[in-house]
Amino acid sequence: MGIQFKDVTFRYKGLKTAYKAIDKINLDIAPKGEIIGICGHTGSGKSTLVQHMNGLLQADEGTVSVFDIQLPNKKKIKLNSLRRRVGLVFQFPEYQLFEETILKDVMFGPKNLKMNHASIESISKASLKAVGIDASLFDQSPFKISGGQMRRVAIAGVLAMQPDILVLDEPTRGLDPVGQKELMEMLYDIHKSQQTTLLIISHDMDVLGAYANRIIVMNEGEKMFDGDKDSLFSHPKFDKMNLDYPSSIKVMKHLHKEISLPYKLLYTMDEVIYHIKEHMHE
Binned at pLDDT 50, 70 and 90, residue 117 comes out as confident
**pLDDT, tens digit, 9 for 90 and up, residues 135-150:** 999 999 999 999 889 9
Fold held by 3-244:
Rossmann fold (3.40.50)
Helix or strand holding residue 275 (H, E): helix 269-279
Q: Does residue 30 surpass a pLDDT of 70?
A: yes
Residue ranges of the domains in the chain?
3-244, 245-282
**pLDDT, tens digit, 9 for 90 and up, residues 170-193:** 999 888 889 899 999 999 999 999
Binned at pLDDT 50, 70 and 90, residue 65 comes out as very high
User: Taking Cα atoms as reference points, which of 78, 57, 76, 54 lies closest to residue 67?
Assistant: 54
pTM of the predicted structure, to 2 decimals = 0.92
User: Taking Cα atoms as reference points, which of 184, 174, 185, 133 lies closest to residue 157?
Assistant: 133
- Segment 90-105 shows an average pLDDT of 90
103 φ, ψ (degrees, to nearest 5): -65, -45
- Mean pLDDT for the chain overall: 92
